Amino acid sequence: MSEPTELGQTVASLHEGPTITRWILALGRMTYHFGRLEWCSYKAIELFSRDDLIDWARNLQFKARTELAREVLRTRLKAAAHKDLLHRWEKFFQESLEAAADRNGYAHNPLMLAVFMDDAGDVSYKQGIAPMKHPLRPLFSIEEVEASNSRLEGLAERMTELLQTTSRIDFSNGP
Amino acid sequence: MEKTAEQVYTDLLRQLASPAGTDPEVLANTFRDVAI
């Protein structure tokens, strides 16, 4: 039986062993942290808007629901003159929307192996998530996904603190 | 002057976020009828 080729070994490593485990963990963490941001968009509307809005907003996609939550917070916090808190929410929502674009790139595309051959015939490999809608763009690397997860985790922690702080405000005199 | 799609969307969000607004389904439907 012939020895497996380097390419064969590299392809096999995509499906088993520590490499694929690292990818699975990174993509799982992304789903977990992003779910917390999804929860925030529901909770912000539920807590700070009128009662009938949340049921209607459940049918919205993340982007539209987050933009609606941002508008709800703008309305409430401007009326209550909480300028600094509103600024922090604005920054949080902006970063959440940017994170959604990253998430879509990672979650809706396949993990692939690109094989490169230079003029001398030397072969090299790169593993990553291929952005299928944009075939000329480079693959997303595992390092990019992990860095994105760190940002998501930080966002989720800020979200918790913002919700707690905002929940303590008395909006009963507002609009 | 006609509003852009973005202005129409912003108006919808503002009205939805208003604490004493119209029923969200009714409001969204009125915007759905706007030609953009």
Confidence of residue B36 (pLDDT cuts 50, 70, 90): very low
pLDDT of A166 above 90: yes
Q: In chain B, what is the greatest distance between 2 CA atoms, to the nearest angstrom?
A: 28
CB contact under 8 A, A68 and B18: no
pLDDT of B34 above 60? no
Rounded to an integer, what is the distance from CA A25 to the centroid of its chain?
15
Instruction: Return mean pLDDT, chain A.
Output: 90
Under the banding of pLDDT at 50, 70 and 90, the label for residue A4 is low
Q: What is the band of A174 on the pLDDT scale with cuts at 50, 70, 90? A: low
Average pLDDT of span A54-82: 93
Domain boundaries, given as residue ranges, for chain A: 6-109+142-167
How close, in Å, is residue A138 to chain B by CA atoms?
31
Contact between chains at B16 and A68 (C-beta distance less than 8 A): yes
- In whole angstroms, give the CA distance from residue A78 to residue A82: 6
Whether A140 and A131 have beta carbons less than 8 Å apart is answered as: yes
B1: which 2 tokens?
A: 């002057």
Strand partners, A140: A129
SS3 A42: helix
pTM: predicted TM-score of the whole model, two decimal places: 0.83
Range of lowest pLDDT (A1-5, A68-72, A168-172, B7-11):
A1-5
The mean pLDDT value for A62-73 works out to: 95
The answer to ipTM > 0.90 is no
Residue partners of A135: CB distance under 8 A and separation at least 6? none
Alpha-carbon span A167 to A120, nearest angstrom? 64
Structure tokens at A157: 């922690």
Residue A141: strand, helix, or coil: coil
- Round to whole Å and give the CA distance between B16 and B27: 8
Distance CA(A2)–CA(A149), nearest Å, equals 41
Q: What digits encode the pLDDT tens for the residues A90-119?
A: 999 999 999 999 999 999 999 988 888 899
Q: Interior CA angle at A75 toward B12 and B27, to 5°?
A: 25
Min CA distance, A155 vs chain B (Å)? 23
pLDDT of residue A19: 81
